[in-house]
Structures are given as C-alpha cells and as structure tokens.
C-alpha cells in the first residue's frame, strides 16, 4: 500500500517546539547579559560572608 500522507503536522509541531526553546534560551541569555554583574556581585558577597 502506498502511503504518501504528508508529515506536515509532525514537522510543524517540531518547528514550534524548537522555536519556543530558542525563545526561552534567548530570553535567559538576555537576562544574564543585563543582570550578570549584579548576580556576580551578590554571589561574591554571599561567598565572602561564609569566609568571615
């Protein structure tokens, strides 16, 4: 039997899922770029507080 049914739904779902993952990764990276120095200083201050 010849089954030439298109696989558009599966491809569309995979493309949408990959797009969502890419958007989340981009948002996380942008947040890290913007808030990175504050996060680093907060972690450094908390780390140094354990030493004293």
**pLDDT tens digits in sequence order for the chain, 52 residues long:** 567 666 678 889 999 999 999 999 999 999 999 998 898 888 888 886 666 5
* The predicted structure's pLDDT at residue 22: 98
DSSP codes of every residue in 1-52: -------HHHHHHHHHHHHHHHHHHHHHHHHHHHHHHHHHHHHHHHHHHHH-
Amino acid 35: pLDDT: 92
All residues at 6 or more sequence positions from 32 whose CB lies less than 8 Å from its CB, including other chains: 39
pLDDT at position 46, please? 83
pTM of the model: 0.62
First-residue to last-residue Cα distance in the chain: 76
pLDDT value of residue 6: 66
For position 10, what pLDDT does the model report? 87
């Amino acid at each position: 039997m010849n089954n030439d049914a298109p696989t558009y739904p599966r491809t569309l779902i995979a493309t949408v899922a990959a797009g969502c993952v890419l958007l989340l990764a981009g948002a996380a990276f942008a947040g890290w770029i913007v808030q990175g120095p504050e996060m680093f200083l907060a972690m450094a201050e908390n780390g140094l507080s354990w030493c004293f």
